[in-house]
Amino acid sequence: MSAKLEYGGGVVRVRFSGEIDHHAASLLRASIDSAIAQKRPKTLILDFGAVSFMDSSGIGLVMGRYKLMQAIGGAIRVENLSPGAYKVMRLAGLDRLGELKQKEVS
Amino acid sequence: MKKLNEMKLTMESRSVNEGFSRAVVAAFAALLDPTLEELSDIKTAVSEAVTNAIVHGYREQSGPVFLTATLTDKPSVRIRVRDRGVGIADVAEARRPLFTTMQGERAGLGFAVMESFMDRVQVRSAPGKGTTVTLEKTIGGKRHDG
């Protein structure tokens, strides 16, 4: 599990890779939150393209960041979800809070 | 329904074992030749059950988590996750979506995920004694008729 952060043009993009569970989520949170606090981006993009597994811990991870972005008047986008991760996020109704995009099937 | 195979695993209630246990169950369930989606569903449900045992059952203190996985000729997989932790006083309340006893970022959707990804979820619990969650899923992905 890791998260690579990029910033440019008012956008913070977080590229997750590996497995996101309760064990990993607590470690990922801190670096994302400090980037939001420092850069105050207009948009936060959470890119799940390289995530091989996600359980309901991913919901808390997205929800928590959604609240932070809302507090600074920004938006959140969730991209490249695998079918499994998309299913978990839909179950939580996260598609109503922001944009949820599935991975393109090539 | 005949039992085809069974395995048991006992592990410490450490969060690194969430990944370990779902990988073990996925490898074992693969013997029934499930689809990738079925396997992903099983891994997710096991992850939720084991995380509950660690986070809620033992409140992140140390204790044993017992996991039994059974393969049947249905074909189906049955997974039992048991802890000797604090237990649940009101199981119906605990299973309700968004119910959580935790501060922070637990979404309260662990049981909702288990219920939506598995065919059957049974919870038995007694305060002070611990909790047993039994998950069951029929594997229909590929037929073994041939």
Residue with tokens 């006893």: B101
Q: How confident is the model at residue B107 (pLDDT cuts 50, 70, 90)?
A: confident
d(CA B63, CA B84): 7
Neighbours of B110 (CB within 10 A): 28
In order of their start, the domains of chain A are 2-102 (3.30.750.24)
CB pairs under 8 A between A and B: 67
Q: Residues of B with CB below 8 A from A20's CB?
A: none
Per-residue pLDDT tens digits for B34-74: 999 999 999 999 999 999 999 999 998 999 999 999 999 99
* The predicted structure's pLDDT at residue B7: 98
B68 in any annotated domain: yes
A63 touches chain B (CB under 8 A): yes
Q: Residues of A with CB below 8 A from B55's CB?
A: 22
Do A40 and A72 meet the contact criterion of CB atoms below 8 Å apart? yes
B16 in any annotated domain: yes
B29 in any annotated domain: yes
Residue B42 tokens, joined = 């099983």
Per-residue pLDDT tens digits for A21-41: 999 998 899 899 999 999 999
d(CA B70, CA B2): 10
* The predicted structure's pLDDT at residue B121: 98
Q: How confident is the model at residue B145 (pLDDT cuts 50, 70, 90)?
A: very low
B44 in any annotated domain: yes
Domain count, chain B: 1
Give Dmax over CA atoms of chain A in angstroms.
37
Residue B8 tokens, joined = 């048991």
pTM for this predicted structure: 0.92
d(CA A86, CA A69): 21
Residue B23 tokens, joined = 């990988």
* The predicted structure's pLDDT at residue B144: 44
CA neighbor of A20 nearest in space, from A63, A50, A65: A50
* The predicted structure's pLDDT at residue B101: 77
Per-residue pLDDT tens digits for B15-37: 999 999 999 999 999 999 999 99
Segments forming the whole domain that contains residue B60: 3-138
Residue B105 has φ and ψ, to the nearest 5°, of: -115, 25
B107 touches chain A (CB under 8 A): yes
Average pLDDT over residues A81-88: 93
B146 in any annotated domain: no
Task: Check which CATH number belongs to the domain holding B9 and give it.
Answer: 3.30.565.10
B143 in any annotated domain: no
Q: How confident is the model at residue B100 (pLDDT cuts 50, 70, 90)?
A: confident
Q: Residues of A with CB below 8 A from B43's CB?
A: 53
B7 in any annotated domain: yes
What residues of B are annotated to the active site?
48, 52, 106
Residue B137 has pLDDT above 90, yes or no: yes
B33 in any annotated domain: yes
* The predicted structure's pLDDT at residue A38: 95
